[in-house]
Structure 1
Amino acid sequence: MGAPPRVALVTSAGFPDLWDDDHPLRDALRGRGVAVDAVRWDDTAADWAAYDLTVIRSPWDYTARHEQFVAWARSVPRLANPAGVIAWNTDKRYLSELAAAGIPVIPTEFVGPGDTWTPAAEGEWVVKPTVSAGSQDTGRYLLPGQTGLAVAHVERLTAAGRTAMIQPYLSAVDTAGETAVLCIPDATGELTFSHGIRKSAMLTAGGGGRVDVGSERITPREPSVAELDLAARVLATIPGGTKQLLYARVDLIPGPDGAPTLIELELAEPSLFLRTAPGAADRLADAILTRL
């Protein structure tokens, strides 16, 4: 018998044994006879060519080294999702492309280095960088009382050479929560709906817009027909098509009119909530076997 196929699950220094939610995938692959290693994306000793497939999972310290991360992705021979998708999707300015394609996207203003931001007179707003993971450097501000804090946040990002993005805080996140539509390829390789989850709010309203990651609650949710339809429309806009994808997550929230609105399209390193949905890890393991 020949050697078993080898798969690298890409992680970061903070999660040397993978993020807990990816353990079911690791175990499902090993149960199918696949040799699985957890490997840091920035491990200079890693031999990426030795793996039959490299699957990005939790490289969440890349945001401060975005260009290095994209260059790394381009250097890996067999990467899922592929490097072109990683380069496009890890900078949230892709939202402007989706909006131009007719996708209902949460209104977003981008402010780059050297630009001046004129805040709105009132309302609740979210400020974050276009390159981030896990709500890093994200704040929620109530204007006009916290206008100074919001402006300082934008200026802090742009002074560091980063691009800030400003979006209205949609109150539906406090009631309906976000819906994440998770998609995995079927036996034919077509990206298809796998499972849905509900994410609760984790941006606090006071204290300058703190992020309380520990307050986020993840529960199963069956997406509505309208949410599934919008997710399909979003995926249809991806440069290069969906056949190249091993996974996709479409994050939606009701807009002011109650219709679903896109918050983010996660194709690079999203949590897939494999522990929340029975069978999801097995479906992803089977999709990986198909790629192998």
Structure 2
Amino acid sequence: MSPTSDPATRERSRVALVTCDLFPDLWEDDLPLRDVLLSRGAEVDVLGWDDTEADWAAYDVAVIRSPWDYVARRDSFVSWAHSVARLLNPADVLEWNTDKRYLAELANAGLPVTPTDFVAPGDSWTPPSDGEWVVKPTVSAGSQDTGRYLLPAQQALAEAHVARLAAAGRTAMIQPYLSAVDEQGETALIFLPDTGGVLSFSHAIRKGAMLTGPDEGAIDPGSERIDPRSPTEAERATAERVLEAVPGGAGRLLYARVDLIPGPDGAPLLVELELTEPSLFLKEGGDAATRRLAEAILARI
């Protein structure tokens, strides 16, 4: 073992956990991660991504955790990410993943993605004739600016939602509401590096339905029902296929979360691939998941 890799002879590792002003002391689910890193002898600072006083070059690694205010300032957030040399996940991944138009790329690659239409500012949109549909912006977090509409009864509201996003210079995305979420929930599969550094399945949770109605008809993020879940073989296989399609390869990732809901035929469909700032549900994953993530962070130094 070289002197620089021996904990007894090298300086303490410096880790920045990246958050925002909304959660200056971290989102509660990340507190166990901080504590394990501290117990391993690392110096840990919690910093807002837009902290103008932060010296990012002074850290061995900066780990994105809860910068959930970036949505209104995505360009600034992406620019900041590219300025941080040792950032996890990497800046180019964040740039790709913070605009949900990546779903079109994955669909074009043959992956089972929830059918999605994108309506950019200036585009015309003809609403579907019937059914339940979800309207949301391509840049969002925590169900912000998201609504669920029953057509044709709520067509005017859906059209107004799309128009409101366009007026703000935002691209809208329209997806069928996957009704299986009401009874079966959404399965979130969390992937973390194993002891060999290979990104692999860690644990999964069930999330209850979030959307309740038009406009911003969603329950508050964090208030949905969360339970541990064992994914099916089909869900595991789908999630692994999705990760294989990540630009640059999944081997660069510190973490990934793949959110799936059964489609009309019962087969899992990708709702979102969370590579930027997802909750990793470490409490539901238990001590083993938290230790696994902490060791993976230290192994990158």
TM bracket (short chain):
over 0.9
| Alignment TM-score, normalising by the size of structure 1 | 0.98
Who is 1:245 aligned against?
253
Is the 8 Å Cα contact of residues 250 and 264 (structure 1) preserved in structure 2? yes
SS at match of 1:265: strand
The answer to whether the aligner puts 1:120 opposite 2:128 as a matched pair is yes
The answer to whether the aligner puts 1:290 opposite 2:293 as a matched pair is no
Who is 1:227 aligned against?
235
SS at match of 2:250: coil
Who is 2:15 aligned against?
7
Is the 8 Å Cα contact of residues 136 and 145 (structure 2) preserved in structure 1? yes
Aligned structure 1 segments of 4 or more residues deviating by more than 6 angstroms: none
Gaps of 5+ in 1: none
CA distance in 2, matches of 1:20, 1:52: 24
CA distance in 1, matches of 2:109, 2:152: 33
Who is 1:60 aligned against?
68
Deviations 1:10-47 (A, max 9, x none): 00000000001100100110011111111000001100
CA distance in 2, matches of 1:202, 1:269: 18
- What letter is aligned with 1:108? T
Residues 187, 125 of structure 1: alpha-carbon distance in 2 compared, 3 angstrom cutoff:
same
Is the 8 Å Cα contact of residues 146 and 215 (structure 2) preserved in structure 1? no
Who is 2:89 aligned against?
81
2:199 to 191, 198, 206: 191
Is the 8 Å Cα contact of residues 141 and 209 (structure 1) preserved in structure 2? no
Who is 2:6 aligned against?
none
Residues 113, 208 of structure 1: alpha-carbon distance in 2 compared, 3 angstrom cutoff:
closer
- What letter is aligned with 1:29? L
Task: State the Cα distance separating 1:3 from its structure 2 match.
Answer: 3.2
1:212 to 215, 219, 234: 219
| Alignment TM-score, normalising by the size of structure 2 | 0.95
Task: State the Cα distance separating 1:247 from its structure 2 match.
Answer: 0.1
Is the 8 Å Cα contact of residues 124 and 169 (structure 1) preserved in structure 2? yes
Is the 8 Å Cα contact of residues 201 and 215 (structure 1) preserved in structure 2? no
Deviations 1:60-113 (A, max 9, x none): 000000100000000001000000100000000000000001001000000001
Superposed counterparts of 1:118-157, under 5 Å:
118-157=126-165
CA distance in 2, matches of 1:35, 1:2: 13
SS at match of 1:187: coil
CA distance in 2, matches of 1:184, 1:79: 16
CA distance in 1, matches of 2:199, 2:137: 29
Who is 2:5 aligned against?
none
Is the 8 Å Cα contact of residues 211 and 219 (structure 2) preserved in structure 1? yes
Deviations 1:172-197 (A, max 9, x none): 00011100110001121110000000
- What letter is aligned with 1:225? E
Task: State the Cα distance separating 1:208 from its structure 2 match.
Answer: 4.7
Is the 8 Å Cα contact of residues 145 and 215 (structure 2) preserved in structure 1? no
Deviations 1:211-252 (A, max 9, x none): 112651111001110000001100000110011100000000
Is the 8 Å Cα contact of residues 206 and 229 (structure 2) preserved in structure 1? yes
Aligned residues: 291
Task: State the Cα distance separating 1:209 from its structure 2 match.
Answer: 5.7
CA distance in 2, matches of 1:22, 1:29: 11
The answer to whether the aligner puts 1:24 opposite 2:32 as a matched pair is yes
Who is 2:273 aligned against?
265
- What letter is aligned with 1:285? A
CA distance in 2, matches of 1:121, 1:202: 24
CA distance in 1, matches of 2:25, 2:100: 28
SS at match of 2:238: helix
Deviations 1:146-175 (A, max 9, x none): 111111110000111110000000000001
Is the 8 Å Cα contact of residues 125 and 169 (structure 1) preserved in structure 2? yes
CA distance in 2, matches of 1:57, 1:212: 22
Gaps of 5+ in 2: 1-8
Who is 2:100 aligned against?
92
Computed over aligned residues only, the root mean square deviation of the Cα atoms, in angstroms, reads: 1.0
